[in-house]
Amino acid sequence: MKTFMKKLLFLPALIASLDLMPVGQVMAQTFTNLHSFTNGDGAHPLSGLILLGNTLYGTTSSGGGFGYGAVFAVSTSGTDFTNLHSFNFGTGDGITPQAGLILSGNTLYGTTEGGGSSHAGIIFAVNTDSSGYTNLHTFTGSDGGNPYARLILSGNKLYGTTRNGGAGYGTVFAVNTNGTGFTNLYSFTTQSQSTFTNADGANPQSGLVLSGNTLYGTTHGAGYYTWGTVFAVNTDGTGFTNLHNFGYNDGAGPNGGLSISDNILYGTAGLGGGSGYGTVFAINTNGTGFTNLYNFTGPAFNNTNTDGVNPTGDLILSGNTLYGVANAGGYFNHGTMFAVNTNGTGFTNLHNFTSISGPLLTNSDGTSPSAGLILSGNTLYGTADNGGSSGYGTVFSLSFPVLQLAITRFGTNVIVTWPTNFPGFTLISTTNLVSQAVWITNSTVPVIVNGQNTVTNPVSGARNFFLLKK
């Protein structure tokens, strides 16, 4: 249920900006290509973004000053792009970052998939003003190798996963923000060479989510049916639990991180489900109640469809709505941005990435988004791996219209209005805001006046609080 409140105090016009558009309704929205990468400033961003003030920070998997990837900053308006660090092969530096960044104070922390003295990747830090670049830890293989996913931060400790290394099939690790105290919390066990199965999963490609002292994540492969797992492990490395084994029909090959709310984990699987093209799922933190919330549909003969194919990257949760991206499919087979309610209803294709043309495979917005989105106010921000004006990917935003409820005193009446392009809302009211307040549907039926739903109520009796309910 979406709800929006206004207080009636017999005053002149009161107008408040409210929440995002309701899922299931495609409103007028504004897509903006904030930056098209040129290769010299970075290329092919595979990671999501983080936001500090009005500045977005992220990584590219290639390009930059030496061709091996970069850390960048760009304002939310698309101006003031800065290359904060270019990774340099052969100097002990990392290369090809696949993961997004985490921020603490003015310091950014991240990982690279390759490079370092053992060619197994590193953990690094760099300040937001580009100073203080530090290699915090170099993976050796035995302690993990090839981190693909974002880190998370709790106190002064970073937690993450590696796709390979450890016992051979990836690890969960912890390290202090100053680079000391590296600990391999868990190594995923060997797979059967004949069935490619095991008891815990293999090759985690997604980041972790922390609740209390428990880390939750997914593995891309193995488990009982070869298609990956959802797992939990304590921050001290004890208590590893395989919460769910994917069986293809319920999803397969998860490579995006989880979101958590009220002891429910939400995520995506890039394959499997009813049509074989990926799912959005939910599962309780104790491993019960696994639910396939949405199955992406099979593409037509030209690989297009209405919703997307192969969801990837982290989901984000706002209220009762999950937002994510699909790497392919959609109207042009170059991926989509989508929203779906946490109960599986109201799936909405928010944006179809457009066709490409020319030898550089360029377009206006980008193609093949691989990373999760972030939300600030009524705007989503993300990255596309390819496309844009040079074919090397983009940073983009998608802004939703804002629902406004206005109250105006007019003689002996009070007029309440809201836009007609937000259908399905009902005006309700109450005389107080105590926890047991009783809300009733406003008895006056709205009429449309100048493109606004309009309700006229007499000024009489106790004060009222108004709410829009969907």
Tens digit of each residue's pLDDT (9 = 90 or more) over 67-88: 999 999 999 999 999 999 999 9
The pLDDT confidence band at residue 290, using thresholds 50, 70 and 90, is very high
* Same-domain pairing of 249 and 179: yes
The pLDDT confidence band at residue 470, using thresholds 50, 70 and 90, is low
* Same-domain pairing of 87 and 212: yes
- Cβ-contact 398, 350 below 8 angstroms: yes
* Same-domain pairing of 128 and 11: no
Between 148 and 470, the more confident residue is: 148
Structure tokens at 73: 């900053």
Give mean pLDDT, residues 329-339: 96
- Cβ-contact 373, 48 below 8 angstroms: yes
* Same-domain pairing of 130 and 199: yes
pTM for this structure?
A: 0.86
* Same-domain pairing of 377 and 456: no
Average pLDDT over the chain reads 90
Integer Cα distance of 468 and 65 in angstroms: 52
Is 447 inside any structural domain? yes
- The mean-pLDDT minimum among 98-102, 160-164, 171-175, 301-305 falls in 301-305
- Cβ-contact 334, 356 below 8 angstroms: yes
Integer Cα distance of 324 and 35 in angstroms: 20
- Could you list the residue range(s) of the whole structural domain that residue 314 is in? 30-399
Could you give the count of Cα atoms lying within 13 Å of 245 in the half-sphere of its Cβ? 11
Is 104 inside any structural domain? yes
* Same-domain pairing of 314 and 461: no
* Same-domain pairing of 455 and 315: no
Is 25 inside any structural domain? no
Buried b or exposed e, range 122-139, using 16+ CB within 10 angstroms: bbbbbebeeeeeebbbbb
Answer with the one of 377, 399, 421 that is the final residue of a domain.
399
Give mean pLDDT, residues 126-150: 97
Is 193 inside any structural domain? yes
Between 422 and 252, the more confident residue is: 252
Structure tokens at 83: 């290359």
pLDDT at 305 over 80: yes
Answer with the one of 346, 369, 399 that is the final residue of a domain.
399
* Same-domain pairing of 380 and 440: no
pLDDT at 54 over 90: yes
Report the percentage of the chain scoring pLDDT > 90. Answer: 74
Residue 14: what pLDDT? 29
pLDDT at 182 over 50: yes
The number of domains in the chain is 2
Residue 392: what pLDDT? 98
* Same-domain pairing of 340 and 316: yes
DSSP β-bridge partners for residue 406: 15, 417
Is 24 inside any structural domain? no
- The mean-pLDDT minimum among 18-22, 162-166, 276-280, 375-379 falls in 18-22
* Same-domain pairing of 362 and 463: no
Phi-psi region of 443 (alpha: psi -120 to 50; beta: other; left: phi over 0): alpha
Is 90 inside any structural domain? yes
Integer Cα distance of 194 and 217 in angstroms: 26
* Same-domain pairing of 420 and 293: no
Structure tokens at 188: 């995923």
Is 288 inside any structural domain? yes
Residue 109: what pLDDT? 98
The pLDDT confidence band at residue 420, using thresholds 50, 70 and 90, is confident
Give mean pLDDT, residues 300-328: 93
Residue 275: what pLDDT? 93
CATH of the domain at 463: 2.60.40
CATH of the domain at 79: 2.120.10.30
Residue 37: what pLDDT? 98
What Å distances lie between residue 324 and 111, 210, 215, CA to CA? 22, 20, 21
* Same-domain pairing of 62 and 9: no
Q: For 6-50, what is each residue's pLDDT tens digit?
A: 443 332 222 233 333 334 444 568 999 999 999 999 999 999 999
Give mean pLDDT, residues 191-207: 92
Give mean pLDDT, residues 156-174: 97
Integer Cα distance of 252 and 267 in angstroms: 12
Answer with the one of 399, 420, 443 that is the final residue of a domain.
399
Give mean pLDDT, residues 113-121: 95
For 208, other C-beta atoms within 10 Å of its C-beta total 24
- Cβ-contact 315, 337 below 8 angstroms: no
Between 90 and 323, the more confident residue is: 323
Is 111 inside any structural domain? yes
Dihedral angle sign, alpha carbons of residues 235, 238, 243, 244: positive
Between 16 and 254, the more confident residue is: 254
Integer Cα distance of 189 and 198 in angstroms: 7
Q: For 341-383, what is each residue's pLDDT tens digit?
A: 999 999 999 999 999 999 999 999 999 999 999 999 899 999 9
